[in-house]
Amino acid sequence: MQEDMDTVPQSRSGDITLLEKMRRQITNGRYGPGDLIPELTLAEEFGVSRTPIREALKQLQNEGLVEIRPRVGTFVRQPTRREIVELFELKESLEGLAAGLLARRGRVRELETLERNLMDSDRAAAEGDSQAYAELVHEFHWTLVRGADNRKLYETYERLMNQLAYHRIVVNTVARPERLKASDNEHHSVVEAIKSKDALDAEFTMRNHVRASSQAALRPIDEPQPARPGSIDDDAQENRRVEGGELRAC
């Protein structure tokens, strides 16, 4: 869904499948944050040698998903709270840039995709189908970034989202109804601004949306909601689990 722009970004070697599988293993699979991932285990699991595993792990390292402690091992890395804030700041800037660029492009295919997405999102919002809505949010943002027609931006965004482990966030996302509604409205505003071809307006509307969404995602960490009193009081510490399941984004 995010591998094909028009042609393949780079003619990477055939391990693209392996790398993707390993990514899944780490983000969704049974490897949780802090866990050690022995190369040999993965190697015999995927039926290959340690060499390609090592290469993939190195790539995952500089994507920020794992941490390789030399001579010790490779561990699943959980972004610190600070890193998440930093990534959201970047996300806001990049998606703002994307919205502006898309607005400048005029009526392109991606814009129509966004409009269709809006209709589907309205329906999902009306029905309160937060699962479907989460999927549509995903598609909305990726479509927008793709529509910017800037491959370097796209790659940077991809890397960013991988680091955020956005999958983990989105999958566990069952947004609160009021935020869902607000999100839907904001999406409408964004598309409206893009359609009006006002690049600056589009950029800032998007940035406001991303900021709101990020803050909504971070809030459960900042101040545990009364409805869910449980067990979140020890942030402040770095390298502490940020309880990804609590993150929402839309």
Interface with a second copy, residue 3, by CB under 8 A:
no
Residue 52 interacts with, from DNA, a second copy, none (CB under 5-8 Å by kind): DNA
Percent helix / strand / coil, the chain, rounded to 5: 65, 5, 30
What is the DSSP secondary-structure string of 28-62? Answer: TSS--TT-B--HHHHHHHHTS-HHHHHHHHHHHHH
Number of residues that bind DNA (CB under 7 A): 23
With respect to a second copy, which residue has the nearer C-beta, 130 or 163? Answer: 163
Interface with DNA, residue 37, by CB under 7 A:
yes
Only one of the segments 23-31, 33-41, 150-158, 184-192 lies at the binding site for a second copy (rule: CB under 8 A); that segment is 150-158
Distance CA 156, CA 148 (A): 13
Helices 39-46 and 50-63 sit at what angle, rounded to 10 degrees?
A: 120
Do residues 210 and 240 touch, judged by C-beta distance below 8 A? no
CA-closest candidate to residue 41, choices 179, 31, 191, 32: 31
Only one of the segments 64-72, 78-86, 97-105, 128-136 lies at the binding site for DNA (rule: CB under 7 A); that segment is 64-72
Interactions with a second copy, residue window 59-78 (CB under 8 A):
59, 61-62, 67-70
State the DSSP H helix or E strand holding residue 245, giving kind and residue range, or none if neither: none
Site string for DNA, 2-31 (x = CB under 7 A): -----------xxx----------------
Among 72, 178, 223, 231, binds DNA (CB under 7 A): 72
Distance CA 54, CA 134 (A): 34
Distance CA 112, CA 46 (A): 41
Residue 39 interacts with, from a second copy, DNA, none (CB under 5-8 Å by kind): DNA
Positions that interact with a second copy (CB under 8 A) = 10-14, 51, 54-55, 58-59, 61-62, 67-70, 83, 86-87, 89-90, 93-94, 96-97, 101, 150-153, 156, 159-160, 163
